[in-house]
A and B are shown apart, each in its own frame.
Chain A
Amino acid sequence: MPPFAAFLLKRLGRALLTMWFAITVTFLLLRLLPGDPAVAVASTNMDASMRHELLKQYGLTQPLFTQYVKYLGQLLHGNLGQSFTQSQPVTDVLMSRLPWTLLLTGSALILTVLVGVPLGVIAATHAGRTVDRLVQTSGVIGQSLFVPSVGIFLLFVLGLQLKLLPIGGAYDENAYGLGWYASVLQHLVLPCVSLVLVSLGSYVLTMRATLIESLGEEYCLLAMSKGLSDRRVIWKHALRNALLPTTTLLGLQLGFMVGGAVLTETIFAYPGVGRAIYEAVTQLDYPVLQGAFVLLAGTVVVVNMITDLAYGLLDARVRTA
């Protein structure tokens, strides 16, 4: 088998194992939560028999193992189950939300790379100078930022005071055609910038550190001694190697962003999966929570697999290891 095919198969196997683990842990963790869904949705008039009837309807009176096997069977058929509270298939509940979360986290991730790489390069190539210190300080501050504080600050300044951007929502309900796409972009700016601000710091600092290390490697010194321009040495040689750890970080950051989306979507009233999770937690709507975690874990696993493959393409040693 060609080395890359074996590498691919191995990664695929790992991804499937990770998914199974995520599904199982989610299933068990939710059932460890105190309280039960019947009490969470019930009126104060519900007596014990009504509560039991409701739990029976939800299939929660069966033994845990039976519930688990049933759930796995459902998943293999592509069925995420039925929402307890909304009486709708979980797929319907989540699919109307997923595009917004993907748009938000995807845009934030791309913007983080587009801003983070050049900033990291500038800091690394000006190591020890004022620009570097400025970037480093900003990076450390960025790492300590918290989405709700950043979000409310941006909403107050850019939304309320300057009236430049809308407060909350994903689009203007009265916009149609191209105007609708424009409104989507307008509504995306603040939540996306918030996510970028809180995740950029670690990306820039990692980029800077690895690039400084790469620039000190012998192959870079050789390239410089051969008379290659600084620009060519940095962007063609050093950066390619410096990108390896930052690519890994990027994969990890997706998980962080997806988690951060719960808060971001809440602050910015953005109708994504994060909001659906927040709402489902308060109602102990297990099927929606399980479905959301499967979707998000799937997204993170797929992106990490792509990252691994990119890593393999960037560094031949990885795919033969």
Chain B
Amino acid sequence: MNKLRTAGATLVVAAVTMGLAACAPGKKANADKGGSNSGSSSSQTLTIASTTDVVNLNPLVGNSRTDDWVTNLMYPRLLTINADGSKQPYLAKEWGYTDGGKTGYFVLRSDFKWSDGTPVTAKDVAYTLNTIKTQNPKGGVVNGFMTNMISAKAVSDTRVEISMKRPDSILVPEVGFWTVIVPAEQFGQHNPVDQFTNTSDWISAGPYKLTSIAKGQSYTLTRVTPYPMAPNGTPTVDKVVFKIYPDVNTEILALEKGDVDVIANALPPAQVSVLQKQSGITVEKVPGLGFTHMTYNMKRKPLDNVLVRQALAHAVDYDAIRKVAVQGQAISANSSPITPSLAEYADPSAKEYTFDPNLSKQLLQQAGVSNLKLNMIYSMQDPVVAAWASIVKSDAAKAGITINLEGMDRNTYLAKTTNGDYDIYAGSFAIMDEPVSNMALQYLPDGAINYSQVNDPKLTSLIEQAQATTDKTQIKSLVQQASTYVRDNVIDNIMYVQNLYVAHSSKWTGFVVKPSELLSILDPQSLANVTKTG
């Protein structure tokens, strides 16, 4: 019996050891193997924490935020953005329209190379754009901007031209910013492209390249040279490691202990001031480029009545929401869909709706509406919105309006949003970088995010005119007219622009801060320039 027990125990230990051996990494040399690593003598590793795991490393597919951060370091965008949403050169040094706005173009830099030594050319760009247009990889964001695109063509090694059905001021800037360029040689071997998992043999034209993966735990990238946007063409860090901590509290403990150098995801508002007080930790403010809003379902009565919508808009204490729920980490959007973040387009005369319950009551009386009862949906996964929903309810009660709060899980919320099954929708958009594009998506009758269900001929005409011209002055004028119309008619109630905060060890300096959580301090140009000082 004892022998049997010993044999049993030995078997269990052997099984566990073998099971683990299957998970064990290979030899050290394998993990460090990188295509074009420089032989730097100083070895610096920047470890970045994220709460979301990598889902798919194919950058053409709709991804998690961490997928974006990792793939951004390997596949360049044509354009990048500034804090005010204005487009800046990246792989493309020039862009614009010819042929009366019916042809878009990008002129590329000639010094970008893939890590296998081949140059990044217009063929890669044309392949990427045409693949997105024709295959519409699942969940990808770019195809939505390509309605008027016919095809893209590499007219030389450094020039790509996009032929269009009609002039479209959205196409070039949006495609330029949102598209990451992939190597045609490698991705072209996979059809459909969204089945390509890209889990090995990576080729990078960014500052770093994936070299090893510990699924669910960490993703290691090593330096690639030359990278034209790094000092002397050499990114400053040898290795960048993304580590996954699904729980934000664990993630913060890891930063405090020094296990990680950066927290990539935006900190919960309550943690910002706590970490700001800690020595050895620097909290960086990342300008928001999106906004948080409430929309009123205009297909439902009495929300189709502008007076009712105005009554609702005046029954919210926006200042209290920003101070209490967002802990002072947001600025007023002046109730305009063109927020102050988009400085080039914003209308300085726009003013926020006042909090005036008596005015709300009067407006309801004028509309002939009494005993108004509405439901408001929001996602419980958005803790900030969940925090202010009760403020909205109690403020509305002061104006005699009953709001039934319906906080729900994200998937239910998305389903209700898609089906237009709500009176009031509360939520946020992360990046609203291009005014015309955003307005088209939000306020055209067939717009993908037309949550107010608006179908207003005047507004549609203003947006379509702005979309059809490439004259910047005209675009600005039309955008401002449209935003004023949206504000005055409460087609959307834009409440605030939330600034985001990320944290890093004070030992690291040189981060370049870009707007939004997507770019934040993890933009390739930032991570190609950071240095460890401590």
Which residues of A come within 8 Å of B, CB atoms? 33-36, 39-47, 50-51, 53-54, 57, 85-88, 96-97, 99-100, 102-103, 106, 148, 151-152, 155-156, 159-160, 163, 166-171, 173, 176, 180-181, 184, 266-269, 271-272, 275-276, 278-279, 282-284
Contact = CB atoms under 8 A, between A and B. Distances in A.
Contacts of A87: 56, 58, 61, 194-197
Contacts of B28: 176
Given A42-B62, A44-B429, A176-B27, A169 B217 contact: yes
B216 A97 contact: yes
B216 A43 contact: no
B410 A282 contact: yes
B200 to A, nearest CB: 12
A288 to B, nearest CB: 10
Contact of A35 (B61, B194, B411, B429): B411
B487 interface: no
Contacts of A103: 16, 19-20
A40 B115 CA distance: 34
Nearest to B28: A176
18 contacts: A33-B411, A34-B409, A35-B411, A45-B144, A46-B448, A47-B448, A50-B136, A54-B138, A85-B55, A87-B197, A97-B216, A155-B253, A156-B253, A160-B256, A169-B243, A171-B214, A176-B28, A271-B216
Given A35-B412, A35-B414, A167-B253, A43 B25 contact: no
Interface residues of B, number: 65
Given A34-B416, A152-B249, 19 more contacts: A43-B62, A44-B449, A45-B441, A46-B448, A50-B136, A53-B136, A88-B199, A99-B19, A152-B253, A155-B250, A173-B31, A180-B25, A266-B246, A269-B217, A269-B243, A269-B244, A269-B247, A279-B52, A279-B55
Given A40-B414, A45-B145, A86-B197, A276 B253 contact: no
A43 B249 contact: no
Nearest to A42: B139
B22 A99 contact: yes
B408 to A, nearest CB: 8
Contacts of B257: 159-160, 163, 167
B218 interface: yes
Interface of B: 16-17, 19-20, 22-25, 27-28, 31, 52-53, 55-56, 58, 61-62, 136, 138-141, 143-145, 194-197, 199, 212, 214-218, 220, 241, 243-247, 249-250, 253-254, 256-257, 259, 408-412, 414-416, 418, 429, 441, 446, 448-449
B143 to A, nearest CB: 7
B19 A267 contact: no
A1 to B, nearest CB: 25
A47 B246 contact: no
Contacts of B24: 180
Contacts of B23: 96, 99-100, 170-171
Contact of B140 (A43, A170, A269): A43
A275 B31 CA distance: 24
B141 to A, nearest CB: 4
A276 B216 contact: yes
Given A47-B448, A169-B218, A275-B246, A41 B256 contact: no
Contacts of B53: 275, 279
Nearest to B249: A152
Nearest to A281: B411
B254 A168 contact: yes
Pairs A-B, 3 closest by C-beta atoms = A45-B144, A271-B216, A35-B411
B55 A86 contact: yes
B410 to A, nearest CB: 7
In the complex, which of the residues B52, B220, B247, B429 has the most CB atoms of chain A within 10 Å of its own CB atom?
Answer: B247
B56 A39 contact: no
Contact of B62 (A35, A41, A166, A170): A41
In the complex, which of the residues B16, B23, B52, B140 has the most CB atoms of chain A within 10 Å of its own CB atom?
Answer: B23
A145 to B, nearest CB: 17
A247 B20 CA distance: 27
A40 B448 CA distance: 15
Given A54-B138, A103-B19, A167 B250 contact: yes
Given A42-B62, A85-B55, A269-B244, A167 B254 contact: yes
A54 B139 contact: yes
A151 to B, nearest CB: 8
Contacts of B58: 87
Contact of A168 (B136, B144, B194, B259): B259
A44 B241 CA distance: 30
A102 B449 CA distance: 43
Contacts of A102: 19
A181 B199 CA distance: 25
Given A44-B429, A176-B28, A271 B415 contact: no
A115 to B, nearest CB: 18
Contact of A106 (B16, B244, B415): B16
Contact of B20 (A57, A96, A99, A151): A99
B241 to A, nearest CB: 7
